[in-house]
Structure 1
C-alpha cells in the first residue's frame, strides 16, 4: 500500500536513478536551530549528493514561528539555486529532516507543488553506498515565479473563527492531542537522523492509527503551535496520508 500523496516522498534508489534527469533539481536545505548541529556550507561542499545545491533557509525566515521574507526575495534565492517553475525539486538535509520538510512547505506556499522530500536524507543516501561528491556546483539561474498560496497560513482571527465554527480540525503541536500522537508514533524519537515517516511504520499502520484517533483526512485541518518545524513536520505527514486541505497557524 502506498501513501495517497506518495509523490512527495522519494527513495534514495529513485533519486539515484533520476539524478541526472534534466528536469530534476536537488536542494540541500540548511536550517540552523538552537538544538541542531547543522553542517556549514564548507562541510557540505566537501560531502554532498551529486548535482545538489546549497540552500540556506535561515536567511528566509526571521524566527522559528515563520516570519518569512517577501516573495521576490524568496524567488531570487530559488532562482540562484538553479530551480525554475518547470523543475521537480528534491529536498534533503543532513540532520533529522526538519530543514527538508520546511523547504518542502515553503516551496508549496510559493506555488511550487512539484517538490518531494528525500526519505532518510543524506544519512540514508550515504548508508546505501550512493555516490558522494565534493565537486563545486554552479547552477544556472532559471525563471521562478512566486504565487503565494495564502490559504496555507491562517492568522489569529481566522483561527478563532474556525474554532467557533467547530468544523475544521485543529491540532496543537505544543500539547498531547491526536495530531501529536500520530506524529510521535510514526517517527523515531531519537537524536539520530530520522526518516519521515519512519520506514518501519507502514502506510497501513498509519492509516489505521488515523482511524483510531478519528483524524478526518478529507476535511480541513489547521496546525498550530509555537515552533514552525513541528508544525511543518505534522503537515507533511498528514499530506502524505492524503490530507490536502492543510493550513498552519502563524500568530
Structure 2
C-alpha cells in the first residue's frame, strides 16, 4: 500500500533531479547526542548538499528555557526562517546526517509554524554520500524570504496536558526511546534524570521505523510496527522521547500512514523525568 502522504518524503534520485528548481530549498538539520562526539555545523561546513542551509535545532529554540531545544516563539522562528531564505512559496526538503532522525524534528517544527510544503529526504546525507552524489563546502548566503507563521497548537503538547491525560486517557502516549531507557533498566544520558516512563505509555523505539539502509520502512511495514505496540489508528497519539527529537520520527511515521491526530510532547522525558512531582512507571509496560 502506498504512503498516505507520499509528497512528505522524497528520494535522493528525486532531489538530484530537482535540486536546481527555483522553488526548492534544502535544509541540513543534523543534530547528535553529546556522546556521539559529532559537530553537525562543522560537518555541514565541510560537506553539504549543494545549496543547503544549516538549521540549528539547538539555536532555533527557546534558548531561555533550561530544557534542551524547546520550541521558540513564532516571532523567533519566523526570523530564523527568513534569514535562512526559507519562506512562503518554497518547497522545503530537510535531511540529516543520520538518515532520518533530527530531520523529522525540523520537518515537524516547520509544519508546526504553518508551512505545509516540507518533505524529508529519504536516507538523508548517508544515502546521498553512499551514492556518490555531489557535495559542496561553499558557505550559504541565502536571500531573505518572508515566512508567514501560523502556529498550530494541536501539534504540540505541554507537561500539564500530558499530566491531565493520565486522568482522561483520551490520547495514547507513545515513547520513541530504547526499550532499556523506557523500562528504566538503562541509565538516562542526562544527569539527574529518573529512569522509567510516563504511566500507561507504550514504547516504540524510533529506529524500528527505519530500514537497514537508513530509509523509512514502507507503509505496510510501518502499520505493522504501530499495531505491534497496540496503537489504535482511530485514536489520537502523543509522541514522546528523550528531549523531543526522535518523538518527531514517530510523528512522521504516523503521518506517512495517514494518522491525522498526532502531537509531540515537546519537553518529553527530560522535562517529565526531572520533575519529581510527575508520576512514572518502570518495567516493560
Q: TM-score, normalised by structure 2?
A: 0.75
* Counterpart residue number, 1:220: 236
CA RMSD of aligned residues (A): 2.6
Equivalent residue for 2:146, pick from 138, 143, 146: 143
Per the TM alignment, residue 79 of structure 1 is displaced from its structure 2 partner at its CA by: 1.0
1:136 and 1:3, CA in 2 relative to 1: closer, same or farther beyond 3 A? Answer: same
Query: What CA distance in whole angstroms lies between the structure 2 residues aligned with 1:22 and 1:243?
Result: 31
Per the TM alignment, residue 80 of structure 1 is displaced from its structure 2 partner at its CA by: 1.0
* Counterpart residue number, 1:207: 223
* Residue 127 of structure 2 is aligned to residue 104 of structure 1: no
* Counterpart residue number, 1:90: 93
Please list, as runs of the form range in 1=range in 2, the aligned pairs for 1:98-247 lying within 5 A after superposition: 98-173=101-176, 175=182, 180-181=203-204, 183-187=206-210, 195-197=214-216, 201-247=217-263
Query: What CA distance in whole angstroms lies between the structure 1 residues aligned with 2:18 and 2:222?
Result: 28
Contact 1:170 1:221 in 2 (8 A): yes
Q: Deviations over 1:140-170 (max 9, x none)?
A: 0010022111121222332233332333222
* Counterpart residue number, 1:13: 13
How many pairs are equivalent? 244
Per the TM alignment, residue 220 of structure 1 is displaced from its structure 2 partner at its CA by: 0.9
* Counterpart residue number, 1:49: 49
Contact 1:98 1:233 in 2 (8 A): yes
Task: Compare 134-143 and 206-215 and name the one that shifted more.
Answer: 206-215
Task: Compare 8-17 and 52-61 and name the one that shifted more.
Answer: 52-61
Per the TM alignment, residue 234 of structure 1 is displaced from its structure 2 partner at its CA by: 1.5
Contact 2:8 2:120 in 1 (8 A): yes
Task: Compare 131-140 and 155-164 and name the one that shifted more.
Answer: 155-164
Contact 1:3 1:203 in 2 (8 A): yes
Where 2:105 maps in the other structure, the secondary structure is helix
1:183 and 1:100, CA in 2 relative to 1: closer, same or farther beyond 3 A? Answer: closer
Where 1:57 maps in the other structure, the secondary structure is coil
Contact 2:172 2:237 in 1 (8 A): yes
Q: TM-score, normalised by structure 1?
A: 0.85
1:241 and 1:179, CA in 2 relative to 1: closer, same or farther beyond 3 A? Answer: farther
* Counterpart residue number, 1:58: 58
- Which ranges of structure 2 fall in alignment gaps of 5 or more residues? 184-199, 272-285
Query: What CA distance in whole angstroms lies between the structure 1 residues aligned with 2:225 and 2:56?
Result: 35
Per the TM alignment, residue 15 of structure 1 is displaced from its structure 2 partner at its CA by: 0.6
- Which ranges of structure 1 fall in alignment gaps of 5 or more residues? none
